[in-house]
Amino acid sequence: MAATSGKLRPPFRLLLLLLAAAVARSVDGVELTLLTGAREKGAVCLDGSPPGYHLQRGFGSGEHSWFIHLQGGAWCNTIEDCSKRKMSAYGSSKFMRAVEFNGILSNDQQLNSDFYNWNRVFIRYCDGASFSGDGEAQDQDGSTLHFRGLRIWEAVINELMGKGLATAKQAILSGCSAGGLAALLHCNDFYARFSKEVSAKCLPDAGFFLDIEDLSGERHMWSVFNGTVHLQNVTQVLSKDCLAKKDPTECFFPAELVKSITAPTLILNSAYDSWQMDPFLDSHGPVAKLTFEIVVPHKSKNKFVDDIEVVKDKKDWGLFIDSCFTHCQTPFDISWNSQASPVLGNKTVAEAIGDWYFERSYEVKEIDCEYPCNSTCSSQLPRFYIGLDPDYHPSLNIYAGLFDEAAAADHLSPFRDRPPSPPPTSYVFCPPRAAETGEMPILPRRRYAEPLLLLLLAAVARSTAAAPDVVELILLTGAQEKGAVCLDGSPPGYHLQRGFGSGEHSWLIYLEGGAWCDTIESCSNRKTTELGSSKLMEAQEFEGILSNNQTVNSDFYNWNKVVIRYCDGASFSGNAEAQDQDGSTLHFRGLRIWQAVLDELMEKGLASAKQALLSGCSAGGLATLLHCNDFHARFPKEVSAKCLPDAGIFLDIEDLSGKRLMWSVFNGTVQLQNVSEVLPKDCLAKKDRTECFLATELVKSITAPTLIVNSAYDSWQIRDTLAPVGSYPGRSWLNCTNDIGNCNSTQMEVLNGFRKKFLDGVKVVKDKKDWGLFIDSCFMHCQTKYSISWSSQFSPVLGNMTIAKAVGDWYFERSKTVKEIDCEPPTHHTRAAHDMATSSKLRSPVLPRRRLAEPFLLLLLLLLLAAVARPTAAADVVELTLLAGAQEKGAVCLDGSPPGYHLQRGFGSGEHSWLVFLEGGAWCNSIESCSRRKMGVYGSSKFMKAAEFNGILSNDQQLNSDFYNWNKVAIRYCDGASFSGDAEAQDKDGSTLHFRGLRIWEAVVDELMGKGLATAKQAILSGCSAGGLAALLHCNDFHARFPKEVSAKCLPDAGFFLDVEDLSGERHMWSVFNGTVHLQNVREVLSKDCLTKKDPTECFFPAELVKSITAPTLILNSAYDSWQMDPFLDSHGPVAKLTFGIAVPHKSKNKFVDDVEIVKDKKDWGLFIDSCFTHCQTPFNISWSSQASPVLGSKTVAEAVGDWYFERSYEVKEIDCEYPCNPTCSSQLPT
């Protein structure tokens, strides 16, 4: 297929913005604070637990400003509803976790310029009546249901008053959905708590619920509110004037509430509120949705406008009523203030609210025109609301049903334990405009088909290849003795992935970036992060130029690849120390880190390199320039040693206010950290040290071959050094710096001036032999380390070359010269400028060969659905529990730290049922591999964190109907021998390696027996991968711990490892197991019958283990297990993979079927052996129970396991046909 190029259409731009929003900003989780003395105050959740809130303190000018946000999440209007609700985070604080603050709660100044530094509070919703009820009732089980929303409101606000709210100078009460209604209910009370000089106002978001008839003629919203009002005794918060004339239920509606509110209030709502249209315009399901035209939503909008008519004459009030199909707009970054935010009166949601609150505008009362007039709406009405197109393909009905359900669930509350994704924006197709057809304007049908597919492709681009390798951290040996330490004095670290095949003697060294610290204060702050301390560093994924995927990274995939972590704050160049504010020492030893790590790598093989490349991004790109000559000088002349700085050319420019910000940062860094030894002597003889630190000076003295990869419109420099917030009046540049497609011609002239300055700075390169340039016009920063920009359909293209191809052609001298400089974006049309600046050339995606397009599209849709179509609550994050008395029991991880597990208590009918899940993660079979392993999460609990429970561990009844309310335990894996070894050995550094997996198993299970496992009535032992093997190893022991009447069974997932030869004839799996068994003394868990006849290694294989297991067991596995085929069918890398036919995987499958033959005759046993190219299926929602779950015998994985365990079927023994016969497999063999 020929490649095409073209501009990005608006829907595609939005989708890319959504994708960017998902990855572009890290958001802090704000911990939960439980109300003090809740029970004494009678202020409790439905289940009687104390309510909670999340408080993030303000700073600077916002120290005395407070923003209170009330969580939403519908209502409960019957005993049955409230009983269900109390078993979730919306009825009990037992299920609440930390939350991320986004949108109006964000502390990001660029995103939330008016409120970013305020004190921000998020009050959790656990009463079911918009914080307004005051009563109680008997639950079905005899316990008490506490309807104390009003007391929660009063008690939490009182506690906050004591924490500083009482001295506020500015205050806003807000909330979304049911919390938006609560903001209306409590607005007057909130306002009355402050003196007149305090600017206290209210901001209800999506809280304006309408009393309208649905399509069947029922008043659904009335019914919900009526039940809530009377069940929970909601009268005290209602207007006395209203109650004197009307029913309490009518007084609960916003149309009445606004009449009595005296505090200044801005109503933010969509006139086509998605939550109210679904299900309240049709409370009986989707059938009627297919029958009505756009006139019905318009009637809803007209009712809305009528109800807020009273507001138009209220002084100090505001309106922002858009026509977007959405619900809740303040708590999401994308709708609050982004390119996808709705715009009315030339203002985004954030701008309108800021102008209203701070009275920068005379009036903010905006009501949008009728749908679909507003082109800035990112959420459109679904086409299934207005009748199906006659040519609409029935095979795509999945769009309607599943996205509809996901949207309704997602919108229930904008804050869960982790924020949901924003509302889906492109689940509709668009017809021609009315002007083109002469027909009545109905809703879009086809407009989003192409961009949806492209986004889906981007989201699952790695589905046909292995995921990026996660490479563990290695700490520098003897760091303290060498004085080569991070800011806090901890040893620096790096990640090393060994090369193979033709790349065995080739090395890529990559220097991490992350800005600089130029003052004692900034360096002190930095040392408490991973950019200043190795204590906080974790394993890293290798992508882009670091990827081992030959398709993504064809030139460097099999090289030795090293990422050196950045923890000094001066681009690996300082050499000094200073006293911190607390009296401790700040170590500025970047230069020593560079030298010591390079020296250690030289000993590990870098010294014998035949090819070498030094690279880095951002501050690491600058470091690449600083150390390029030294790197090159370490090798003989015959070695091809070159440098590749990415986004490392920082300019000394004035910002819009005339300040030289970059100079200021560099000057402080150079002086504070004593940066001089790495600077060019020629430059230092003539110029200031700070000037010599600039890349434009460094390039003049570099003699090694170098290719500069950079954007001439570097997004970081434009946002932070050319046009930072505060350098221009108001927000005149904010939209431009967010997206240069919004820049006007004057602004584009400034940006083009930046580009000219940039090109002037690198013009010396044009005449340098062996040098290269790849200077694109994309609005981005760092391009080599991301697969999507390095080599994909979205990679910038210059001279018909992606970045990957250009770098490869330059390094291997396949082209005479690679010196590409992109053109300027046109200034006469800002959208064209955006398209060129964000995309360069976008080529058409090509579907995989030998695949049918329709099934592939369906798969992509299913994968996206899995990402966004989560039910009403995100996966629970379960905290780590460390084993008590681990050292005394000798039950420790490889490094001697105590092992850990995650326990989520069961409830209801599952209170006495237990699921124990053993984590997997391969093995370590040598001193060297175990030594590396102990420095990561698979060898030390020091690196372990809380874990999400998904799949079979999920507490979501819809997803995990059989086991959702069981006690669920995930035991962490930190021994390297499937919980089976019992020995120790001396590590290379003289410390002890503890091989105590068997003791960990015994001690943790003993502790769990004391916590309730001993009284279990039902129990399952499961595990995945190495944990699946462990489930087989310990199955008999687990079963023997319970009386006969207890149903104790085993479920090994992806634990059936085969003893097969790889393509080179080696028995790779045997080699790994043999090393593990003998190093870690794995004998006690092995079958005695087997040991009398065979070698311990053979007895460690599942083919032997299953012969001796007496407990009922279901073996869940793929006959084409992806982990075993890669790398064990080809242990020497991906090259040979391109040569073998389907016959090889079929042989592996036949071996698998032979090994499980014995199971077919075992009573009470089960088999679920599919033909999907996958590994581990129980712990993931998508494979456990979803539209993309494999199906055998008309059963998903979850259904098969449930039927087997509860004996709902006579037998569950399913073995799939040969690949690729099963169309339900979402994971296929790579083509």
Q: Which residues are catalytic?
A: 618, 714, 781
From first CA to last CA, the distance across the chain in angstroms is: 17
Q: How far is CA 745 from CA 234, 749, 750, 828, in A?
A: 57, 6, 9, 7
What type of residue is 477? T
Per DSSP, the residues of 32-66 read PEEPTTHHHHT---TTSPPPEEEEE---GGGTTEE
Strands 967-971 and 470-471: unpaired
386: DSSP letter: S
522: DSSP letter: H
CA distance linking residue 47 with residue 86, whole number of Å: 5
Angle, in degrees to the nearest 10, between helices 590-603 and 619-633: 50
- The answer to whether the beta carbons of residues 85 and 140 sit under 8 Å apart is no
Secondary structure of residue 226 in the 3-state scheme? helix
Rg (CA), the chain: 31
Exposed e or buried b per residue across 324-357, where buried means at least 16 C-beta atoms within 10 angstroms of its C-beta: bbbbbbbbbbbbbbbbbbbbbeebbbbbbbbbbb
Selection from 62, 714, 731 nearest residue 341 by Cα = 731
Which residues have CB under 8 Å from 13's CB, separation 6+?
Answer: 339, 741, 834, 835, 838
765: DSSP letter: G
The pair of three-digit structure tokens given for residue 673, joined into one six-digit string: 């950290």
Instruction: State which H helix or E strand residue 354 sits in.
Output: helix 349-357
579 — phi, psi (to 5°)? -90, 130
Sign of the four-CA dihedral 478, 479, 481, 484: positive
Instruction: State which H helix or E strand residue 260 sits in.
Output: helix 254-260
| Total Cβ atoms within 10 A of residue 198 | 17
The pair of three-digit structure tokens given for residue 780, joined into one six-digit string: 């981005």
Angle, in degrees to the nearest 10, between helices 10-23 and 830-839: 50
Measured CA angle at 182 (ends 177, 185), to 5 deg:
140
Secondary structure of residue 931 in the 3-state scheme? helix
Selection from 894, 1097, 893, 1072 nearest residue 986 by Cα = 894
Question: DSSP E strands: which ranges in 344-451?
Answer: 365-367
Question: DSSP E strands: which ranges in 1016-1058?
Answer: 1018-1024, 1047-1053
- The answer to whether the beta carbons of residues 1019 and 914 sit under 8 Å apart is yes
The pair of three-digit structure tokens given for residue 678, joined into one six-digit string: 């790495």
Looking at the DSSP bridge assignments, the partners of residue 798 are 801
70: DSSP letter: E
177, HSE (Cβ side, Cα atoms, 13 Å): 24
- The answer to whether the beta carbons of residues 330 and 204 sit under 8 Å apart is no
The pair of three-digit structure tokens given for residue 1217, joined into one six-digit string: 């046909």
Helices (H) and strands (E) in the chain, counts: 45, 39
The pair of three-digit structure tokens given for residue 221, joined into one six-digit string: 């919203």
